[in-house]
Structure 1
Amino acid sequence: MQLEKKRTAVVFADLQNEFLVKSGSYYPIIADKLKELNVFDNIEELLRCAKENDYHVIHSPHYYYPTDLQWVAPNNAISDYLVNLPTGFVGRKDPVDLEAFHGSGADYPERLKRYLMDGKTANTSPHKGLSCLSNDLIKQLRMRRIEKVIMAGPVGNLCLENHMRDLLEAGFEIAMVRDAIAAGQNEEGDAYQAAMVNFRFMSNALWTTEDTVKRMKAAAAVDKQ
């Protein structure tokens, strides 16, 4: 996979307190892998590089509103479990109301707000469940004439993998950043390893953060010539 700056975007899913901050309800599930791979630092390094080299950055957040609790049809196992936690999960009062949003699980980590709220990053409408087919991520990419996507995020085997699958089916070329991705474990095994196996089979590239940053800088340099 060869990057072309004008046709490349960096896409993240779930850069929210619920996943990346110790107080988050999902954080304990992926804490070991977050620490082992320095995922938070690597995500920030990708954001920093993207901003310094003027790449498009698009973030797909995960929100639920009180009206989503009206759902009676099954969603998926992990989402059904999380949405019904007593503490809630990536919850917001309303799409146009930010009451109690600041510092909540749905909010962005403070150290990432400078990148995600700079007026240039496109924070999409929320994805409900795992897939980006329920939000406007693909439209945001298409309207920028993007063809190549670099992807990372804390929940590699669920939201991030489903986003990747959706984008692949829509015709995008995808590079996954393996150490800017986390996942948990259950009695069936290691979800991070499962995600890496699937990424190796399906994505067009599987890079480290260091390699990705080098490639982004090189493509940006070519673009300036």
Structure 2
Amino acid sequence: MFTFTHRNPEMQIDKPHTALVLADIQNEFLEEKTGTYYELIADALKKRNVVGNLEQLLKTAQELGYYIIHSPHWYYPTDLQWNVPPGAIADYLIGIGFCGRKDPVDLEGFHGSRSDYYEPFKKYLMDGHTCNTSPHKHFGCVANDVIKQLHMRKVQKVIMAGPVANICLESHMRDIIEAGFEVALVRDAVAAGVNDEGDGYEAAMVNARFMANAMWTTDEAVKRMKAAASA
């Protein structure tokens, strides 16, 4: 049986046209005491030091002045009016009250909640430079303003990471690639859950090998970001 082994030439980045794009940097996914989705990915987060690697990417991007785009995930009570049957994971998330907010403009009960940004990362996400987009309501970013924000900055190259590699992050990656950007996935700054079909992380890595322009470790990504910033 033929095995696909081809790799693209390594994606080259230049600082003015490169952005770090993250999805779901929230307590729901990263906070052990607060998150419920966290339970699904806890082992994968710890195995690859995902939280530490995400911070290294954020710290590097902030210090070097790269664009940072963050796509959060939350719902409002009016979203319960939806009548379309959800998929398996969406049905589960509804059951656990996933990432709920009272209202788009009312922050009552938001601070420290599962929907809130992960507290240790607020110094990066709320620094006045990072762009926190409108929320994605399902998996990808086709319905929020991630791609708009990238276009308006004349970004061409995207470095991607986040805690849910096989669902939201992969869907964001697909949407961003379809919109004409080059994408590098940071393979040790992502996690995924496991079900009775197999390991979501492995599934995400298999798919990324077919689609992404590059797959880097955090150390590789940081090294390339520093080199491009000093060029």
**TM band (smaller chain):** over 0.9
- Corresponding residue number in structure 2 for 1:12: 22
Other structure's SS at 2:142 match = helix
The alpha-carbon deviation at position 75 of structure 1 amounts to: 3.4
Instruction: Tell me whether 1:176 sits opposite 2:185 in the alignment.
Output: yes
- Corresponding residue number in structure 1 for 2:127: 118
The alpha-carbon deviation at position 80 of structure 1 amounts to: 2.4
User: Which of 169, 175, 179 matches 1:166?
Assistant: 175
| CA distance in structure 1 between the partners assigned to 2:176 and 2:140 by the alignment | 10
> Identity, % of aligned pairs?
65
| CA distance in structure 1 between the partners assigned to 2:92 and 2:78 by the alignment | 17
Deviant stretches of 4+, over 3 Å: none
| CA distance in structure 2 between the partners assigned to 1:180 and 1:79 by the alignment | 23
| CA distance in structure 2 between the partners assigned to 1:71 and 1:181 by the alignment | 30
Kept in 2: contact 1:174–1:203 (CA 8 A)? yes
User: Which of 54, 59, 62 matches 1:43?
Assistant: 54
Q: How many equivalent pairs are there?
A: 220
| CA distance in structure 2 between the partners assigned to 1:7 and 1:139 by the alignment | 14
Q: TM-score, normalised by structure 2?
A: 0.94
Counterpart residue type for residue 14 of structure 2: E
User: Which of 68, 74, 90 matches 1:57?
Assistant: 68
| CA distance in structure 2 between the partners assigned to 1:62 and 1:184 by the alignment | 17
* Counterpart mapping for 1:97-116 below 5 A: 97-116=106-125
Consecutive unaligned residues of structure 2, counting only runs of 5 or more, are 1-10
Other structure's SS at 2:65 match = coil
Q: TM-score, normalised by structure 1?
A: 0.97
The alpha-carbon deviation at position 166 of structure 1 amounts to: 0.3
Other structure's SS at 1:132 match = coil
Counterpart residue type for residue 162 of structure 2: G
Counterpart residue type for residue 90 of structure 1: C
Consecutive unaligned residues of structure 1, counting only runs of 5 or more, are none
Please tell me the root mean square deviation across aligned C-alpha atoms, in Å: 0.7
Instruction: Tell me whether 1:220 sits opposite 2:229 in the alignment.
Output: yes
User: Residues 145-165 of structure 1, C-alpha deviation per residue, up to 9 Å, x if partnerless?
Assistant: 000000000000000000000
